[in-house]
Every structure is written in structure tokens, then in C-alpha cells.
Amino acid sequence: MEQLTRFRSVTHRWARFFAQRWILGGIVGTFTSTSVEGADNLEGLTDPFVVVANHSSHMDATVLVTRLPYRVTRRLAVAAAADYFFNTWWRRFLTGLFFNSYPVHRTGQGKGKGMSQRLLAEGVPILIFPEGTRARDGVMKAFKPGAAALCIKENVPCVPVALIGTHDAMPVGRSWPKPGRPPIRLLVGRPMRPRSGERAREFNDRVAARVRAMLTMQTPYVLGDHVVPGGEDDHADGTGGQRPDQPPAQQEEAS
């Protein structure tokens, strides 16, 4: 069974800081023009939590670990397909160093089974792409309910993120961003929590709707999906979108 030693290691954390913020961050800043919006939505967020995002490019994880606030990525572990990223020792080493990755078996079998839950139980936040694989056409596909189920089981918040421009910058089939520093926007929504008695598929649908709304509206500041009993919407418990009278935060340019 996969050991958790690496995810607790201070030495590995500092090595990862250099790899992510200097090496990967330098590549992202040099070859793309990337902006982050909605980082203020994460005020008060504490470990552990689950970050979810749409997935259409191999750049997605790189942009997230280099451009999300460091207090979010400091211990963040990235779920990665075991059959690709862990099939050779050098690929396993590099993804572990640069992304603090752990194996997820897409068949639902293998020694990585249950690793997401073990990490959350140890207080380690995780990043999951609920679509399961990259969208070849750049259009967000249906979310699988695994991430939502983890949030319910471990009683942790879900951070919805919308990535805009990564598919155009480096679509499937390319191993490097297109020339001309293509623009990328990272929209960070307010953390969402499962409601009392909510099932995984229901929570998953709400999370997917939030990401889709951010992609459609091109903003991280969106209204709650609907009113819940008692007259309170998602804003009331701090788990949903921003009220329209709350001004958007100034963009953080990371170009």
C-alpha cells in the first residue's frame, strides 16, 4: 500500500516548492499569459479540502499548482492516472516531485485504491479532475461523483475551479504551449460543502454546475445554484457563490 511519508516530509515540501514555483512557474510565466481571479474566495480555508477543476489539457495541473495561492498548494496532492504517470520509475519520480501526485487506478482496482480518502484523513488536501480524463475538444464533460463522495465521507469542503484557455494554449497532442504566450484564466470559486443528507450525485451535480457557470459567465463570482429550505441559499453558510453586491477582487496577474 502506498506510504504517506512523502506527503508529510518537510524536505520534499521544500523541493516541491522550488520545482513548482521556480521551474514550472517560470515555464508558465514565460510561455503563457496567466491570470488568477477569485483567490479572495479562499479566505479562511483550512486543510483538508478537495480542489476540482475542468480538464482539457496537460497544462491544467501545472497551472493549478503554480498559480493557486501557495497556502493552498503547500501540501496539495494531485490525483494522477496510475496507468500512465506511474508506469515507469522516472515518470513516477517526476510527477511526485513536481505535483506531489499519487496514483488513481481508473479501473477502480490496484494498490492506490482508497489513497484519496487516506490523504484527506491525514489532513492532506487533494486535487481531482472529476471528468476522469482530458476533454479532447476542450468542452467540459460530465463529472464523475468520486470527488463529491470523498467530501461527504470526510466532511471536507470542495473548491471549484474553472480553467479557461488551457485547451487552446496546449491542446491534446501537443507537448508544449503554442507560441505567442496564449492567455489562460484561472477562476477560483468559493468553497462548497455538502448539505445535510445530500447524496454524492446531488452534491456532484451542484459542483459541476458551479464550474460550468463560472466557465459560461467567465467569472468566479456567481450566485448560489438554488435556495434551500429555510430561505437560505449557499451564501448563508459560506459554501456557495458571491452575492452580487460583493465587488470582484482585483485580478492577480501572473504573466
- 21-75 pLDDT, tens digit each: 999 999 999 999 999 999 999 999 999 999 999 999 999 999 999 999 999 999 9
- Evaluate if residue 104 carries a pLDDT over 90: no
pLDDT above 70 as % of the chain? 84
The residue with greater pLDDT, 243 or 168, is: 168
* Residue 54's CATH number: 3.40.1130
pLDDT band at 88 (very low <50, low <70, confident <90, very high): confident
Asked whether residue 255 is domain-assigned, the answer is no
Task: With a cut of 90, say whether residue 17 has pLDDT above it.
Answer: yes
How far apart are the C-alpha atoms of 60 and 34, rounded to whole Å?
12
Residue 109, pLDDT above cutoff 60: no
The maximal CA–CA distance of the chain, rounded, in angstroms, is: 54
Query: Residue 85: is its pLDDT beyond 90?
Result: no
Q: How many domains does the chain have?
A: 1
Percent of the chain clearing pLDDT 90 (strictly above): 73
Q: Which domain holds residue 160?
A: 5-250
20: DSSP letter = I
Rounded CA separation 210/207 (Å): 5
Q: How many C-beta atoms surround the C-beta of residue 46 within 10 A?
A: 10
Q: How far, CA to CA in Å, does 248 sit from each of 41, 142, 241?
A: 10, 28, 12
Q: 37 burial class (0-12, 13-18, 19+ CB within 10 angstroms)?
A: buried
The answer to whether residues 163 and 111 touch, using CB atoms and an 8 Å cutoff, is: no
Q: Say if residues 138 and 114 touch (Cβ distance below 8 Å).
A: no
Cis amide leading into 48 (omega within 30): yes
Beta strands in 6-140 (DSSP E): 33-37, 50-53, 77-81, 101-104, 126-128
At 106, is the pLDDT very low, low, confident or very high (cuts 50, 70, 90)?
A: low
Confidence of residue 236 (pLDDT cuts 50, 70, 90): very low
Tell me, what's the pLDDT at 82? 84
pLDDT tens track for 165-206: 999 999 988 999 999 999 999 999 999 999 999 999 999 999
Amino acid identity, residue 23? I
Helix (H, G, I), strand (E, B) or coil at 86: coil
181 close to 235: Cβ distance less than 8 angstroms: no
Strands 158-164 and 183-188 come out as antiparallel
The pLDDT score that the predictor gives to residue 224 is: 62
Kindly indicate the confidence band of residue 86, based on its pLDDT and cuts at 50, 70 and 90. Answer: confident
Residue 93 lies in a domain: yes
Residue 112 has pLDDT above 80, yes or no: no
How many whole angstroms separate alpha carbon 203 and alpha carbon 158?
A: 10
Banded pLDDT at 83 (limits 50, 70, 90): confident
Nearest to 254 by CA among 121, 125, 64, 100: 64
